[in-house]
Chains A and B, each alone.
Chain A
């Protein structure tokens, strides 16, 4: 009989470990059907549940496995950038933040997914198709590197009771840009006369933190006719007088409203969550903030707020000062496959499954409508057209059926750097805090923008 010795156990263990890859081919086969996926956590739990459901449905239908990792937005962003820097990447990523698509496409870091997008091309909106593209500085060409999943625009959120307390009516809000926002100054003036010490008319994020200040400034820039700041060919047009005037007007209005006391003083150092908190605390009559998260977050706890007190689109998004509709800037979440992904086949197969209208439509609706679909046909669903819901019809009109444009970083990733360095925050803040002339503040910002664009030459 053989006895076990220390040496024989060590020898046996080593032999077993060495033979393992050959002894377990079924595991290797299983790995070929598995793809890993990273996605940002939702603002409400329903968003995550809806994504998990879509994944489980796919797994049942295909026999493949998706290893889903859901992480809060900021850590997910860090995770994505760390992965792309180190080269250890998952098979699928959600583009949170959206501009990650254009920033890393420039460096040729994504797999082309035009074949996936092609399966539903007829369904997607033009803005979604454009926003899924990016310029690749290695191939010197634009390509489709993102699969459109969902979208967001920046609506206005208004407290009806505060407007009415000021002796005015929501229905009386003017339809043109300046008059629309001036209305809330009047609301504040009336409320102050009634002794309301801490209510402000306008929730402008004149800050240099987060994504809100860029979205706000760009909404005003487009509202004043400066949407050609970057054209589809990726060229910058700061010398266009229309663009320059629009930027000056935007800085003047946003900074001026703060300086005149119509914006909460702490707005100068808000982060992305602060304006939501201040709005929920009824510190201001209106807020200009991306997605319907402001409303969706309170739907369960304060149904009366959601259904009665909060107004988003009963009156529509304001037109420009000449009365023409202002296009909303769309931020698109896409599915991305990084180069170096181990299982591109399953990743593409999952994305093809995910963007089927029925599947993606259900994913967005289960998330309570915080995000918009990217297929106009989905806007007809009973969910989006529910007559009892005061927000959804208006939101989908603004962000999908109405006039929309891609964000400008789609045309040139330099604009993503402009956004993330908060270049447009500075004119707002300088006008607001130091009383700098808007022309001078904008001139300084334009100089910085030119420096940034010099790094991104598009052929």
Chain B
């Protein structure tokens, strides 16, 4: 058979339909106006979101960087620290926030007044707060050890001299700073639970712990999970608590990936290595974001 005789019939492209589809069903003069409104956002998105992300990926794309990074004992410690920081920092904080949000649901003017005081740590500026904590924990002239000596004649330790104590100080500082914020979010979630459900449960005898277990927990579960995921993502990028409380010390033993990235990029003047340190958290960040997105979609049916 002659090749030339084979005719492949293609469906005719209907350019008019394609053009209408690209124009999103807009007609006449509507299209330029729609473009005029969208273009600034698209330009900002490309310049400040897409470009930095792609540039970062490009900077951290050499495999030799990761070889150098994984060989670095400071990096290995930083990964362990990051995992501990996330595990304790997020979960202790969120659990406390859950309990405290229940307390702040109680009626009474003094509870409202206490709530006002309680949110203060969250409201004050981060950096000065963490620097103050760093000074308070100083072994010789810090506030904490002076109080211990004056009240109990105890010589307190140098809180930031040992890896686990310094890391604990960082975690506690983070919990202290951010618990009020998440308490407010969960409090709002609790307040959104319709009173009818609570009243019916109370009639059925579900009060106190039973009410908490059978009404509050199921209805808040989705919100709690979303808050936990968000908090994990925020905490992965947290630089301030570690940098200003322990400074990554002693002897570079309390760095997390975020502070190590800055150290590598600017102290050692190797920006690509710094980007690689941050990029190495992506295998954790991407699944978290995917789960979060899915949860947000399903959250429509629940609180």
A residues with CB within 8 A of B: 74, 77-78, 81-82, 85, 100, 103, 198, 200, 207-209, 264-266, 268-269, 271, 274, 277-278, 281, 283, 416-417, 420-422, 425-426, 429, 433
Which A residues touch B59, using CB under 8 A? Answer: 85
CA distance A420 to B270 in the complex (A): 11
Interface assignment of B179: CB less than 8 Å from any CB of chain A: no
Partner of B251, one of A77, A81, A85, A429: A429
Interface assignment of B129: CB less than 8 Å from any CB of chain A: no
CA distance A420 to B266 in the complex (A): 10
B residues with CB within 8 A of A: 59, 135, 138-141, 158, 160-161, 166, 246-252, 265-269, 271
**B251–A266 contact, CB under 8 A?**
no
Nearest chain-A residue to B160 (Cβ)?
A: A269
Which A residues touch B269, using CB under 8 A? Answer: 81, 100, 103, 416, 420
Q: A268 and B161 in contact (CB under 8 A), knowing A207-B249, A209-B248?
A: yes
Which B residues touch A277, using CB under 8 A? Answer: 135
**Shortest Cβ gap from A430 to chain B (Å):** 8
CA distance A264 to B145 in the complex (A): 14
**Shortest Cβ gap from A144 to chain B (Å):** 21
Q: A265 and B161 in contact (CB under 8 A), knowing A77-B266, A278-B141, A283-B141?
A: yes
**A209–B158 contact, CB under 8 A?**
no
**A269–B140 contact, CB under 8 A?**
no
Nearest chain-A residue to B252 (Cβ)?
A: A208
**A268–B268 contact, CB under 8 A?**
no
Which A residues touch B158, using CB under 8 A? Answer: 265-266, 268-269
Nearest chain-B residue to A207 (Cβ)?
A: B249
**Shortest Cβ gap from B119 to chain A (Å):** 30
**B249–A209 contact, CB under 8 A?**
yes
**A264–B247 contact, CB under 8 A?**
no
Nearest chain-A residue to B158 (Cβ)?
A: A265
Which B residues touch A74, using CB under 8 A? Answer: 266
**Shortest Cβ gap from B168 to chain A (Å):** 14
Partner of A207, one of B135, B138, B139, B250: B250
Interface of A is mostly: helix
Which A residues touch B249, using CB under 8 A? Answer: 207-209, 268-269
Which A residues touch B248, using CB under 8 A? Answer: 209
**Shortest Cβ gap from A95 to chain B (Å):** 12
**A268–B250 contact, CB under 8 A?**
yes
CA distance A78 to B267 in the complex (A): 8
Known: A198-B140, A429-B251. 14 other contacts (CB 8 A): A78-B265, A85-B59, A264-B139, A265-B158, A266-B140, A268-B250, A269-B160, A269-B161, A271-B247, A274-B138, A283-B140, A426-B251, A433-B161, A433-B250
Nearest chain-B residue to A100 (Cβ)?
A: B269
Q: A425 and B251 in contact (CB under 8 A), knowing A81-B266, A417-B268, A420-B268?
A: yes
Nearest chain-A residue to B244 (Cβ)?
A: A271
CA distance A338 to B263 in the complex (A): 23
CA distance A240 to B126 in the complex (A): 49
Which A residues touch B266, using CB under 8 A? Answer: 74, 77-78, 81
CA distance A437 to B135 in the complex (A): 32
Q: A422 and B141 in contact (CB under 8 A), knowing A266-B158, A266-B161, A269-B246?
A: no
**A281–B141 contact, CB under 8 A?**
yes
Which B residues touch A283, using CB under 8 A? Answer: 140-141
**A208–B271 contact, CB under 8 A?**
no
CA distance A294 to B267 in the complex (A): 23
Which B residues touch A433, using CB under 8 A? Answer: 161, 250
What are some 26 contacts across the A-B interface (CB < 8 A)?
A74-B266, A81-B271, A82-B271, A85-B59, A100-B269, A198-B141, A208-B251, A264-B140, A265-B139, A265-B140, A265-B158, A266-B140, A266-B158, A268-B250, A269-B158, A269-B246, A269-B247, A269-B249, A269-B250, A278-B141, A283-B140, A417-B268, A420-B268, A421-B268, A426-B251, A429-B250
